[in-house]
């Protein structure tokens, strides 16, 4: 704890105004309130009304330009001229979709004289599904999205991609940003009927999760997880790193330590879970109604046949049937009830058997209570039957489909008598006994021995238990059989049938199906005198022997097999009250029962329970009393009047600005605190945030505003004027050149090679050779892809609002020696024949959307012989794919 | 029309140059991070490079360098007061177990060493021993992360990345942080690449894994079928086209940087095969590292490559002995004797050879060699076998060269070697000391990320001046 203490000391010395304002320090730090005046800081205060500046220069129409023009003229900076249509389309296309424009699109755009040419082009790009792919990637950078748990084993999360699909769909549909945020915090609580809302909670769950937790580390790991959620929410959404307040009050921003724990307390019981989500509930309802309607005809046909012709057939059969067919060694009792100590769900099947569903408990005891019209019972037979719900079809519920039956006990229960009397069992036989799992083990009263049937799995088995003496029963007496499974964990029988015999020493009769008691009695009667009450039992027993009934039943079954099923998919979510995903852990639960205020962040030093609460600096509501679940937090986060909504809007419009103009209006997109940059254009930032809310939080109108501004079209040249007056380009008098991101470089290459597979959604691609957009590559935390890493792609371990833009030899090596680049260059080269008249022009048009100059052409021709080989064309394409002019967006 | 300005000119005018420590986005963006040469250190550096021999899995301090005769006396007795959750298996608590290895004293300093390191033990007069090191976690990956990055959580920048960030790259054709993983193909340490990640530091600071064979560095091999002649022609075409674009568009300066990067890339492509080709080393040198003994040749090769990397200006070389699975690393849960004999026999002679070779070439003064694992092991037996469970409370780190005093011991554990009782050394202390020897002050080596100035040593760390 020494290191934590140092922090504390350092904080005590360094703390800014807010700590000093609160002197002397209250004894109880969990009760500390911030100075309300601090809520008027530029980032924290309510949205201000901002007027768009009036500007002298004619033709400045876009409000963005009017804000900038005012600032530029104050600073005496002359803005750069605008670029040509080709350069503009490259910018628009890469910025909005992450893909290059086609040469034909450039030509059409250049030739489009209409005044709304740019607007139409922007509309087209914003409507492209590639728009969502592009902007989902920006969002995933700050959602620290990856598809593995991290840490020791770094197991995959095969169901985590649904979160990514949600983000793509949300951006493509222009889901209002406030709802987009609310769903990521509490979609499962707020719109549980909507699959996208469940998928959205992948945001909370996306962080690393230790795959091996020792007893000693249970608390620390859980607080680390809460910390990850708090840090991600606060930096990604609010540009405030609340995580800095885990061990002490935030050293720079007005965030008391207690605020960290209150925020974390919203997630006390939040765990990662895999839930089944219906992907098409409406379609399922329609299909189901249709099915029910059609299926009625098949049911009717069977019912009609059973009520008429089948009866005649039975009567004919009965007249000629052999007497032994009318008897049975083993009879199904007339009534039967099955229960399990561990609450399995039992369903009676048509053949008189019972099948179990539900989670398999470690140990269990089944009770079967039955009544019979027989007056004397000599033995019972237990059949363990197969069912496709079990491994190998069972008949047991353990991982191999085996079972371990530890004990069988039989009781007779006289009506009105609460204590049943035990029926001693004399002996038992079984159709098959596994090695060291003989039937004798069932009768020996020891838990260690049991009957099993390995390796004869996947087929039915039976055991007969003979009573020591025949048992005489009165009409209302009950027989009770108890089956205990205590020898091995989770090894009970999944489907069973119990029958009894009245004969002395009946054979076990491996292959016969017991006849129901009621049928036996009906069989004895005159077939022409059966009552309507007796018919159903007889029909049910007799029908399978009748060919026409079989045919009708097959038709019914075939149609039943077409029953529509809901499109259930397993989705990786964050939620409460569902089974948590557990990896190797010595913890009892995946969460701690309560979140506590920790003295200096030390889990060994909890002060008391922390109740959920929001950040004081952003709270101006009276709503504090009802803030108890994630849904309440989500509403507060997006409430621009009483909660954090104003800051939320500022932070997202700043991120949008950054992705269009290279640098944010606040240059530190993840830090709006006192250590971050001040806004270069506070009024513009404020106006844009207000504009977002006025557009009901829809993002696309803001982006349309940004890309149709003259500022977006300015050239990126650096002039002496702007270098002197605005070296950091805070006035946006020029456009900021940038290197394309790793994803954009690769995706563009796929486009150039005509090799892009533009499918959306679904599981990620694990092979680096895949041809889908790079968004769909599988990101494993422990194994970063060297190609993407060299171009500064994030590794999914932390919020990253701004990627570094390095220039390193590793990038050049990746371009020149990477197998993908070479393979795509090769594909381009192989397809040149379709453009045989001037392949060089064709290739340059593809990659750069312009014609080659004579000098350029000359340098490329040097790579080629008179009749160039495909390798030489490949070399040429490879050079084009490594060009500055392609890799940089100027 | 105002004149266009080159970016370099712009940087100069903007006064946005590279401060002693500042790795601004500008530097990485404009100059090419790896291409940038040495940056100034905080104080004169004792060491130019570090070779970190990482005995992955947690070697036992009491069976190697921390001699505890008391173990034999209390062999078979219960260790009273032991918190059963100290190790990994709370239900496998056995009695005190003596070391199966014989100990004797070596060198002028008379340091005790077990029979596991017969070659290395002859160098004790060059080594400084920190006996009371401790870690936060009793679990491999958090402990590995902490040893490498200072934090038990994953994703933070590792030591080598901080060194690369702080000092830049003096090698003109090799990355500044090179990692070699278990040479027997037994897998990566738990947590894999997170053990040499650059975290939020720029990517060129990241550890580059140097493999064996022709694909030693990622993308350092030309595509199949490519010839040097054709590659040269591509290079010419690329530079002509880039130059032409720069001339027309006014981005000349960026082109200069990119071209420099390109040249560096081409040099790296030839440097990697050269550095791992040990053919030019004499037979004496090779046998010094044990290359003629199949048991230790794989690790010996890596140690020899480490020396060659350091000679070529690489800042930090990290070699992992031991792979992923427990018994495939120094993680001797089952049987401490067979486990440690196996791994010590692979590493003893190579490490001794490395120290001897560095010394005879005069490189030991400027090269700091450090050797440890992520934690130590308990003085009791793990029930069910003859191994030892994890112990975060005590382990031994030794250092040699690079300004470290030889023949000294610092820190002391209790009579069973269970926990430190004097001069305990935390992992941040260790990091602070290593940085100090490289000329860096751990409190001034910071990087702003999400509003916070991060340090390798977070909020603590003390330079252990007693051994420098």
Alpha carbon distances (Å) from A121 to A44, A110, A666, B423: 37, 11, 29, 70
Q: With an 8 Å Cβ cutoff, are A810 and B25 in contact?
A: no
pLDDT at A875: 95
Q: A268 with A628: CB under 8 angstroms? A: no
pLDDT at A525: 82
**Least Cα separation, residue B239 to chain A (angstroms):** 9
Nearest Cβ partner for B241 among A154, A883, A888: A883
- What pLDDT, in 10s, does the model give residues B178-190? 999 998 888 889 8
| Of A583-597, B85-99, B123-137, highest mean pLDDT | B123-137
Rounded Cα distance between A410 and A432, Å, is: 22
Cis before A455 (ω within 30): yes
- Among the candidates A445, A480, A513, a domain finishes at A513
pLDDT at A4: 34
Residue B279: pLDDT above 70? yes
* CA dihedral of A351, A354, A360, A361, whole degrees rounded to 10: -150
Which residues in chain A land under pLDDT 70?
1-27, 58, 322-326, 511, 622-626, 833-836
**Least Cα separation, residue B348 to chain A (angstroms):** 28
Rounded Cα distance between B229 and A232, Å, is: 51
Rounded Cα distance between A34 and A616, Å, is: 7
- Among the candidates A488, A513, A538, a domain finishes at A513
Is residue A667 within 8 angstroms of chain B, CB to CB? no
Number of Cβ pairs < 8 A linking chain A and chain B: 276
**Least Cα separation, residue A247 to chain B (angstroms):** 11
**In chain B, whose CA is at the least distance from the CA of A155?**
B191
Residue A663 lies in a domain: no
Q: Which residues pair with A572 in a beta bridge?
A: A274
**In chain A, whose CA is at the least distance from the CA of B220?**
A813
Is residue A254 within 8 angstroms of chain B, CB to CB? no
pLDDT at A626: 62
Residue A443 lies in a domain: yes
Contacts of A666 in chain B (CB under 8 A): none
Tokens of B16: 């946005």
Q: With an 8 Å Cβ cutoff, are B219 and A797 in contact?
A: no
Nearest Cβ partner for B203 among A739, A789, A817: A789
In A374-433, the residues whose Cβ lies within 8 Å of chain B are: none
- Buried-exposed string A267-291: b where 16+ CB fall within 10 A, e elsewhere: bbbbbbbbbebbeeeeebeebeeee
Residue A451 lies in a domain: yes
Nearest Cβ partner for B450 among A235, A727, A789: A235
pLDDT at B200: 87
Q: With an 8 Å Cβ cutoff, are A241 and B9 in contact?
A: no
- Buried-exposed string B435-466: b where 16+ CB fall within 10 A, e elsewhere: bbbbbbebeebbbebbbbebbbbbbbbbbbee
pLDDT at B17: 26
pLDDT at A834: 60
**In chain B, whose CA is at the least distance from the CA of A858?**
B237
Q: With an 8 Å Cβ cutoff, are B194 and A722 in contact?
A: no
Contacts of B193 in chain A (CB under 8 A): 782-784
Tokens of A641: 């009047």
In A146-165, the residues whose Cβ lies within 8 Å of chain B are: 150-154
What kind and span of H or E run contains A127?
helix A117-127
Residue A354 lies in a domain: yes
- Among the candidates A513, A548, A570, a domain finishes at A513
CATH number for the domain that contains residue A370 = 2.60.120
For chain A, the helix, strand and coil percentages under 3-state DSSP, each to the nearest 5 = 45, 15, 40
pLDDT at A131: 98
Q: Report the relative pairing of strands A345-348 and A606-609 from DSSP bridges.
A: unpaired
Tokens of A544: 């399978």
Q: With an 8 Å Cβ cutoff, are B261 and A811 in contact?
A: yes
Q: Which residues pair with B317 in a beta bridge?
A: B51, B178
Residue A628 lies in a domain: no
Give the lowest-confidence range in A298-307, B23-32, B139-148, B398-407.
B23-32
Nearest Cβ partner for A813 among B140, B219, B225: B219
Nearest Cβ partner for A786 among B138, B204, B218: B218
**In chain A, whose CA is at the least distance from the CA of B221?**
A817
Rounded Cα distance between B41 and B440, Å, is: 6
Contacts of A249 in chain B (CB under 8 A): none
Look at the block and give the residue holding tokens 């621009």.
A640
- Buried-exposed string B315-339: b where 16+ CB fall within 10 A, e elsewhere: bbbbbbbbbbebbbbbbbbebbeeb
Rounded Cα distance between B307 and B284, Å, is: 15
Q: With an 8 Å Cβ cutoff, are B29 and A805 in contact?
A: yes
Contacts of A737 in chain B (CB under 8 A): 251, 254
Residue A319 lies in a domain: no
Residue B37: pLDDT above 60? no
Mean pLDDT of chain B: 87
Rounded Cα distance between A130 and A798, Å, is: 25
Residue A603 lies in a domain: no
**Least Cα separation, residue B407 to chain A (angstroms):** 29
- B296, burial (CB in 10 Å: exposed 0-12, middle 13-18, buried 19+): buried
In A216-235, the residues whose Cβ lies within 8 Å of chain B are: 216-217, 220, 224, 231, 235
Contacts of B31 in chain A (CB under 8 A): 807
Residue B26: pLDDT above 60? no
A309-320 helix and A547-560 helix, angle to the nearest 10 degrees: 140
B180: region left, alpha or beta (phi > 0 left; psi from -120 to 50 alpha):
beta
N residues, chain A: 890
Which range marks the domain in which residue A827 is found?
A: 817-889
Q: Into how many domains does chain A fold? A: 2
Q: Which residues pair with B395 in a beta bridge?
A: B133
B107-113 own/partner pairs: CB under 8 Å, 24+ apart: B107/B407, B108/B407, B109/B406, B109/B407, B109/B408, B109/B409, B111/B65, B111/B407, B111/B409, B112/B65, B112/B67, B113/B64, B113/B65, B113/B67
Rounded Cα distance between B377 and B396, Å, is: 10
Q: Which of B257, B263, B450 to mutate to test the interface with A (most CBs of A within 10 A)?
A: B450
pLDDT at B195: 93
pLDDT at A527: 85
**Least Cα separation, residue B268 to chain A (angstroms):** 8
ipTM of the shown complex:
0.76
DSSP 8-state code for residue A233: I
Contacts of B175 in chain A (CB under 8 A): 810
Residue A485 lies in a domain: yes
Is residue A2 within 8 angstroms of chain B, CB to CB? yes
Q: Which of B173, B237, B393 to mutate to test the interface with A (most CBs of A within 10 A)?
A: B237
Rounded Cα distance between A574 and A772, Å, is: 28
**Least Cα separation, residue A143 to chain B (angstroms):** 14
> Any residues with CB less than 8 A from the CB of B419 and at least 6 apart, and which?
B134, B391, B393, B394, B413
Cis before A395 (ω within 30): yes
Q: A14 with A251: CB under 8 angstroms? A: yes
Is residue A869 within 8 angstroms of chain B, CB to CB? no
Q: Report the relative pairing of strands A584-585 and A568-575 from DSSP bridges.
A: unpaired
Q: With an 8 Å Cβ cutoff, are A786 and B192 in contact?
A: no
Q: With an 8 Å Cβ cutoff, are A806 and B29 in contact?
A: yes
Nearest Cβ partner for A782 among B191, B245, B261: B191
Residue A277, phi then psi, degrees to nearest 5? -125, 135
Rounded Cα distance between B440 and B161, Å, is: 13
Q: B330 with B372: CB under 8 angstroms? A: no
**In chain A, whose CA is at the least distance from the CA of B139?**
A214
DSSP 8-state code for residue A376: E
């Amino acid at each position: 704890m020494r290191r934590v203490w140092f922090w504390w000391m350092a904080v005590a010395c360094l703390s800014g105004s807010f700590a000093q304002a609160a002197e002397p320090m209250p004894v109880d730090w969990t009760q500390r309130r911030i100075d309300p005046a601090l809520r008027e800081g530029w980032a924290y205060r309510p949205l201000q009304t901002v007027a768009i500046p009036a500007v002298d220069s004619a033709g400045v129409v876009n409000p963005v330009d009017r804000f900038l023009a005012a600032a530029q003229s104050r600073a005496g900076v002359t803005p750069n001229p605008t670029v040509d249509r080709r350069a503009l389309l490259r910018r628009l296309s890469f910025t909005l979709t992450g893909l290059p424009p086609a040469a034909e699109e450039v030509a059409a755009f250049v030739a489009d004289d209409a005044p709304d040419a740019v607007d139409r082009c922007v509309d087209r790009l914003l409507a492209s599904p590639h728009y969502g792919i592009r902007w989902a990637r920006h969002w995933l950078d700050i959602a620290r999205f990856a598809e593995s748990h991290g840490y020791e084993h770094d197991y995959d999360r095969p169901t985590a991609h649904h979160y990514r699909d949600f983000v793509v769909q949300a951006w493509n549909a222009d889901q209002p940003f406030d709802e987009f945020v609310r769903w990521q915090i509490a979609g499962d609580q707020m719109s549980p009927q909507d699959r996208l809302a469940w998928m959205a909670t992948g945001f909370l769950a996306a962080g690393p999760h230790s795959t091996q937790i020792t007893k000693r580390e249970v608390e620390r790991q859980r607080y680390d997880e809460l910390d990850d959620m708090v840090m991600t929410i606060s930096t990604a959404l609010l540009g405030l790193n609340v995580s800095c307040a885990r061990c002490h009050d935030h050293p720079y921003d007005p965030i008391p330590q207690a605020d960290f724990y209150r925020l974390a307390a919203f997630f006390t019981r939040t765990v990662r879970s895999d839930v089944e989500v219906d992907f098409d509930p409406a379609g399922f309802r329609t299909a189901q109604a249709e099915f029910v309607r059609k299926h009625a005809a098949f049911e009717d046909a069977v019912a009609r046949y059973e009520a008429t012709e089948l009866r005649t057939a039975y009567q004919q059969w009965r007249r000629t049937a052999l007497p032994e067919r009318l008897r049975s060694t083993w009879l199904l009792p007339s009534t039967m009830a099955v229960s399990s100590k561990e609450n399995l769900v039992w369903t009676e099947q048509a053949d008189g058997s019972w099948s179990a569903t539900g989670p398999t408990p470690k140990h269990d005891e089944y009770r079967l209570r039955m009544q019979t019209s027989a007056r004397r019972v000599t033995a019972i037979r237990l059949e363990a039957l197969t069912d496709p719900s079990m491994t190998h079809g069972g008949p047991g519920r353990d991982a191999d489909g085996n079972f371990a039956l530890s004990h069988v006990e039989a009781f007779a229960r006289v009506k009105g008598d609460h204590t049943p009397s035990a029926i001693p069992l004399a002996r038992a036989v079984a159709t098959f006994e596994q090695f060291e799992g003989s039937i004798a083990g069932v009768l020996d009263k020891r838990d260690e021995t049991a009957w099993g049937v390995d390796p004869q799995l996947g087929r039915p088995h039976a055991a007969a238990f003979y009573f020591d003496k025949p048992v005489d029963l009165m009409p209302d007496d009950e027989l009770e059989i108890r089956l205990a499974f205590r020898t091995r964990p989770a090894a009970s029988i999944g489907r069973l049938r119990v029958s009894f015999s009245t004969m002395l020493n009946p054979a076990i009769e491996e292959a016969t199906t017991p006849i129901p008691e009621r049928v036996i009695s009906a069989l004895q009667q005159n077939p022409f005198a059966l009552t309507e009450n007796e018919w159903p039992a007889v029909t049910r027993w007799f029908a399978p022997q009748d060919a026409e009934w079989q045919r009708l039943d097959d038709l019914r079954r075939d149609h039943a097999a077409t029953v529509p099923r809901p499109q259930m998919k397993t989705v990786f979510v964050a939620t409460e009250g569902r089974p948590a995903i557990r990896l190797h852990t010595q913890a009892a639960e995946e969460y701690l029962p309560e979140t506590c205020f920790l003295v200096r962040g030390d889990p060994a030093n909890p002060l008391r329970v922390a109740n959920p609460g929001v950040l004081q600096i952003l709270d101006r509501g009276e709503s504090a009393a009802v803030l108890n679940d994630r849904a309440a937090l989500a509403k507060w986060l997006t409430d621009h009047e009483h909660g954090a909504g104003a800051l939320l809007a500022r932070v997202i419009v700043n991120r949008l600005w950054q992705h269009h103009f290279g640098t944010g209006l606040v240059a530190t997109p993840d830090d709006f605190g006192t250590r971050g940059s001040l806004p270069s254009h506070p009024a513009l930032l404020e106006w844009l945030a207000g504009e977002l809310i006025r557009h009901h939080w829809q993002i696309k109108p803001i982006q349309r505003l940004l890309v149709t501004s003259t500022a977006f079209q300015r050239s990126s040249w650096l002039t002496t004027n702007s270098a002197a007056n605005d070296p950091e380009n805070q006035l946006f008098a020029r456009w900021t050149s940038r290197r394309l991101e790793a994803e954009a470089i690769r995706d563009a290459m796929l486009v150039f090679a005509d090799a892009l597979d533009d499918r959306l959604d679904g599981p990620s691609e694990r092979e680096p050779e895949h041809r889908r957009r790079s968004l769909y590559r599988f990101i494993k935390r422990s194994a970063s892809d060297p190609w993407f890493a060299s171009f500064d792609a994030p590794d999914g371990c932390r919020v990253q609002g701004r990627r570094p833009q390095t220039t390193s030899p590793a990038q050049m090596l990746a371009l020149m020696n990477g197998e993908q680049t070479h393979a795509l260059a090769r594909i381009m080269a192989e397809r040149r024949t379709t453009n045989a008249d001037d392949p060089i022009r064709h290739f340059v048009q593809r990659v750069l959307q312009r014609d080659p100059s004579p000098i350029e052409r000359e340098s490329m021709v040097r790579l080629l012989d008179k009749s160039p080989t495909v390798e030489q064309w490949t070399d040429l394409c490879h050079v084009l794919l490594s060009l500055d002019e392609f890799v940089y967006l100027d | 029309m105002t004149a266009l300005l080159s970016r370099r000119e712009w940087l100069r005018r903007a006064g946005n140059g590279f401060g002693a420590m500042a790795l601004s986005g500008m530097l990485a963006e404009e100059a090419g991070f790896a291409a940038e040469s040495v940056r100034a250190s905080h104080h004169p550096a004792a060491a130019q490079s570090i070779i970190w021999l990482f005995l992955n899995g947690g070697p036992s301090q009491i069976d190697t360098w921390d001699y505890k005769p008391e173990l034999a006396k209390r062999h078979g007795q219960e260790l009273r007061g032991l918190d059963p959750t100290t190790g990994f298996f709370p239900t496998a608590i056995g009695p005190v177990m003596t070391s199966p290895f014989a100990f004797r004293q070596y060198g002028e300093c008379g340091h005790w060493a077990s029979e596991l390191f017969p070659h290395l033990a002859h160098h004790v007069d060059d080594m400084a021993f920190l006996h009371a090191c401790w870690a936060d976690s009793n679990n491999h990956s958090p402990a590995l992360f902490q040893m490498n990055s200072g934090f038990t959580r994953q994703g933070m920048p590792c030591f080598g990345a901080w060194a690369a960030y702080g000092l830049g790259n003096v090698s003109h054709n090799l990355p500044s942080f090179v990692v070699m993983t278990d040479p027997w193909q037994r897998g990566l340490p738990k947590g894999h690449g997170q053990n040499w990640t650059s975290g939020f530091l720029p990517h060129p600071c990241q550890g580059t894994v140097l493999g064996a064979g022709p694909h030693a560095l990622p993308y350092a091999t030309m595509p199949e079928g490519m010839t040097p002649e054709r590659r040269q022609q591509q290079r010419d075409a690329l530079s002509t086209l880039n130059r032409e674009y720069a001339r027309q568009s006014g981005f000349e300066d960026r082109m200069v940087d990119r071209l420099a990067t390109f040249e560096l890339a081409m040099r790296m492509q030839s440097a990697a095969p050269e550095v791992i080709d040990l053919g030019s080393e004499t037979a004496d040198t090779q046998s010094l590292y044990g290359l003629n003994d199949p048991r230790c040749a794989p690790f010996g090769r890596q140690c020899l490559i480490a020396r060659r990397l350091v000679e070529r200006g690489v800042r930090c070389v990290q070699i992992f002995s031991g792979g992923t699975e427990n018994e495939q690393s120094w993680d001797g849960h089952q049987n401490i004797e067979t486990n440690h004999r196996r791994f010590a026999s692979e590493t003893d002679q190579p490490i001794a050879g490395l120290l001897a070779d560095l010394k005879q070439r005069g490189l030991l003064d400027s090269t700091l060699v450090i050797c440890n694992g992520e934690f130590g092991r308990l003085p009791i037996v793990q029930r069910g076998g003859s191994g030892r469970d994890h112990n975060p409370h005590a382990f031994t780190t030794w250092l040699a060269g690079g300004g470290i005093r030889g023949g000294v011991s610092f820190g002391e554990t209790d009579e069973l070697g269970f926990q430190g009782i004097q001069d305990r050394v935390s992992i941040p202390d260790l990091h602070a000391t290593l940085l100090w020897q490289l000329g860096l002050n751990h409190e001034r080596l910071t990087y702003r990320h999400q509003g916070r100035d991060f340090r390798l040593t977070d909020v603590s760390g003390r330079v252990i001046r007693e051994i420098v």
